[in-house]
Every structure is written in C-alpha cells, then in structure tokens.
Amino acid sequence: MLIVGGGPAGAAAAIRLAKAGRPVTVIERSAGPTDKVCGDFLSAEAIESLRGLGLDLAALDPAPIRRLRLVHRRAVAETKLPFPACGLSRRVMDEALLGVASASGAVIERGHAVRSVRADRGGLLVRTEAADDREADTVFLATGKHDLRDLPRPGRAAGSVGMKMYLRLSAAQDAALGDAIELILFPGGYAGLQHVDGGRAVLCLTIVRDRLKEAGTQWPGLLRRLQANCPHLADRLADAVPLLERPLAIAGTPYGFLYRPAPDAPAGLFRLGDQACVIPSLTGDGVSIALHSGCLAAETWLARGNDAGAYHRRLRQDLLWQMRLASALQTACVRPSVQAPLVALCRGWTGLPRLAARWTRLSGRCQTEIVA
C-alpha cells in the first residue's frame, strides 16, 4: 500500500494503518523539513485528532490562540473564539507526524516526487520523477495542493493565489497581536496574521487573480498596496523582519472543491486532504479536514478493503454542509462592497463571528466509524 504525500492527511492514514499492523509506505517529495503555503492554524478538532494519533503537541511549542479580530482598514471587531486553538508551523507539525508514523511502523521514503498515478492491469501504477515505477493495489493520494498531471482537480484555472511569509514583529506589535488571529479584509481577498511556534508570526493571504494582476505579482509591491489599503496591517508590519528570503506562493487553489467520485475513477485510489476537499482558508479548518480524511480513509480500507467509493461518499456527506457555508462566507468576505458593513455588523454583534466559526467547523459527529 502506497501513500503519496507525507502531510497531515497522508501521515494520519499511515499512522492508523501502521498501528493496525498493515505494511504501508509513504512517498514524500521533500527530502527534509520544509515550509508549506497552507495556514498554520489548528482548531479544536485538529488538536483532538493530533492527540488521538499520538502526537505530543505541547512539546512542539504551539502558540495559543484565543481570540479573533476581523479587520477592515482601521475598523476592528474582536471576539473570543468559541473553541481552543493554537498556531503551529507546518514544518514542525508535518515532521512530528512523520516521526509518529515511522515509530508506528510505516516506511517513509523522502525526496521522491510522484509524477503520475494511473490504472494498470487491474491495479495502480505510480511513477516518480526518477521514472521509478511502483505497482500497488491501493494508493492514498495526499499531495496537498499539488496536482498530478493525470489527476487534476477542476477549477484550478480560476482559483485564487495564496502567499505566506514568516515574520519577527517589533516588540510592541508582537504584544499587540497577542493571542489573537487577525483576519484582515482587503479588495479581492483577505489575510491572516497570527503567532506560531518559536515566537514568530505568520502572514498568509489569499487574493483572486484579477486583483493580484492589478497590484503586481511581486511581493514587495503587493505588500505596500495592502498596507496602504489597511493602516492596521501597516502598523502591525512596521519594523517587522521577514524570516524567509521570499514568500511561499501557490496559484490556482480551487477553493470550494469537493470531490465527487467519477464512474471511471481507478479502483483503490483514495483522495485525501486537499485532493478531496479544499475549504476556504479563512475558516482555519483545513488541517482538521486533512486529518479527518486520512483517518477515515484508513478506517474504510481496514473495514472494507479497496472500496474507495464508500470512503468518498462518506467524506462528502461529512463535509458538504460545512463546505457550502464556508464558500458562501468567502464569497462575501472578498467583495469590497461587503467588507466594511460586515466588520461594522460584527462590532455590534460580537456573537456573529463566533457563530460563523462554529458553523464552518468539522462537525463533532464526523467520527471515523464506517457504516456498512
């Protein structure tokens, strides 16, 4: 059995399968620890899942996040989060999860990028960049936001562009950010600013392609434009020190994508994480969904073998309502005409963002038991 991708979804599946005594190999493209464009927010559901997989989260120095600030220009609406959360970089979390998978008995192969997965003689043929062919009856596809050539997700051409930068804020602004995650709205997109491990801050942003073209595709120019539009963000980033040479970036993220099994889908191919569902990043529930999909796929395989259809139907059932609400929320948040009234409404009704946060979470009823 092969798992393509060693992020949260792939690692979760590997841990579950290895602990059940099944031989499993994870093929991970990165040769060592690496940063990912994806956000570093862990919701209560993600925290619970990580602990259930055997990860000692406290040992990784996550930053506690207790409050949410919704920002437009200088207007700020603040409220307490309705659940515990924390900030942890993907570099740290992913390596820790792969460590648990390895200790559980999974084989981890690093530095191998998979180029294609296709049906072949009743099974699946996996080809790496070194033209190394692997045959498998079962493949868990967990490549995150990176598509394989022969297994694309629809909607990439019209997708958003995501960028990410780690920062060392000034002492005053570091203290002012505190234990909050700030969701900053600007025309055509939004940014999230929060603390992560190591006392660092991370700025992640999503912007629609047309707005990015207007602002210019280079990071310094885009950042200047965002700070001019949002004085609050300009204050936060005053004297901030970037910790990466250049921002991480990825284009064509198909927010709102939820996989529907096709009649001709290869047997034994399980899509995990962002290959199955891409929830709008402003919900902060991407890691939770990735972990859930990995655990659910593993439990489905243990109970029903290669019945990938049963897994995909169950995952779609678990996520459909959440995805619809999250997509509607993102559509509203990126519209310039909605942004200022939305923040004003949330300032007057602080319970509204808490309700939105609850409604766009992976439901507590979504466990990994498999129904026949």
Q: What's the average model confidence in pLDDT over 298-315?
A: 95
Q: Which pLDDT band, with edges at 50, 70 and 90, does 130 fall under? A: confident
Q: What's the average model confidence in pLDDT over 175-190?
A: 96
- Output the pLDDT for position 132: 79
The crossing angle, in degrees rounded to 10, of helices 351-359 and 308-333 is 160
Sequence letter at residue 12: A
- Output the pLDDT for position 365: 43
| 169: Cβ contacts below 8 Å, ≥ 6 apart | 177, 201, 236, 237, 240
Q: What are the tokens at 181?
A: 């995650």
- Output the pLDDT for position 363: 67
Question: Is residue 233 assigned to a domain?
Answer: no
Phi-psi sector, 145: left (phi>0), alpha (psi -120 to 50), beta? alpha
The CB density around residue 262, as the number of other CB atoms within 10 Å, is: 8
Q: What's the average model confidence in pLDDT over 66-70?
A: 97
Residue 81 CA from chain centroid, whole number:
19
Torsion of the alpha carbons at 148, 151, 156 and 157, rounded to the nearest 10: 90
pLDDT in tens, 167-179: 999 999 999 999 9
Question: Is residue 262 assigned to a domain?
Answer: yes
Report d(CA 76, CA 97) in Å as an integer.
36
- Output the pLDDT for position 370: 44
- Output the pLDDT for position 215: 64
Query: Of the given ranges (61-65, 83-87, 118-122), which has the lowest mean pLDDT?
Result: 118-122
Q: Which domain holds residue 49?
A: 2-156+254-359
Question: Is residue 73 assigned to a domain?
Answer: yes
Contact present, 189 and 253 (Cβ < 8 Å): no
pLDDT in tens, 38-58: 879 999 999 999 999 999 999
Q: Which three-class secondary structure state does DSSP give residue 263? A: coil
Q: What are the tokens at 236?
A: 């936060």
Q: What's the average model confidence in pLDDT over 356-364?
A: 81
Sequence letter at residue 23: P
pLDDT in tens, 197-218: 999 999 999 988 777 766 666 8
Mean pLDDT of the chain: 91
- Output the pLDDT for position 221: 86
Residue 249 CA from chain centroid, whole number:
14
Question: Is residue 282 assigned to a domain?
Answer: yes
- Output the pLDDT for position 209: 76
28 DSSP β-pair partners: 110
232 compared with 225, residue with greater pLDDT: 232
Output the CA–CA distances (angstroms, integers) from residue 92 to 7, 38, 97, in the order listed: 11, 13, 9
- Output the pLDDT for position 226: 92
- Output the pLDDT for position 253: 85
Contact present, 191 and 233 (Cβ < 8 Å): yes
- Domain tally, the chain: 1
- Output the pLDDT for position 220: 87
Work out the percent of the chain whose per-residue pLDDT is above 70: 95
Q: Which pLDDT band, with edges at 50, 70 and 90, does 84 fall under? A: very high
Q: What's the average model confidence in pLDDT over 82-95?
A: 96
Q: What are the tokens at 121?
A: 């003689």
Question: Is residue 180 assigned to a domain?
Answer: no
| Longest Cα–Cα distance in the chain | 63
Question: Hunting for tokens 């996996």 — which residue is that?
Answer: 126
Q: Which pLDDT band, with edges at 50, 70 and 90, does 371 fall under? A: very low
Contact present, 114 and 30 (Cβ < 8 Å): no
Q: Which of 85, 74, 41 is nearest to 343 (CA)?
A: 74
Question: Is residue 322 assigned to a domain?
Answer: yes
Q: What is the 8-class DSSP label of residue 153?
A: P
Question: Is residue 174 assigned to a domain?
Answer: no
Contact present, 70 and 185 (Cβ < 8 Å): yes
- Output the pLDDT for position 307: 93
Report d(CA 228, CA 341) in Å as an integer.
20
Q: What's the average model confidence in pLDDT over 95-106?
A: 98
- Output the pLDDT for position 180: 98
Question: Is residue 345 assigned to a domain?
Answer: yes
Report d(CA 309, CA 303) in Å as an integer.
13
pLDDT in tens, 234-288: 999 999 999 999 999 988 888 899 999 888 788 899 999 999 999 999 999 999 9
Query: Of the given ranges (17-31, 35-49, 151-165, 314-328), which has the lowest mean pLDDT?
Result: 151-165
Contact present, 342 and 185 (Cβ < 8 Å): yes
- Output the pLDDT for position 184: 97
- Asked if the model's pLDDT at residue 346 lies above 70, the reply is yes
Query: What CATH number corresponds to the domain at position 299?
Result: 3.50.50.60
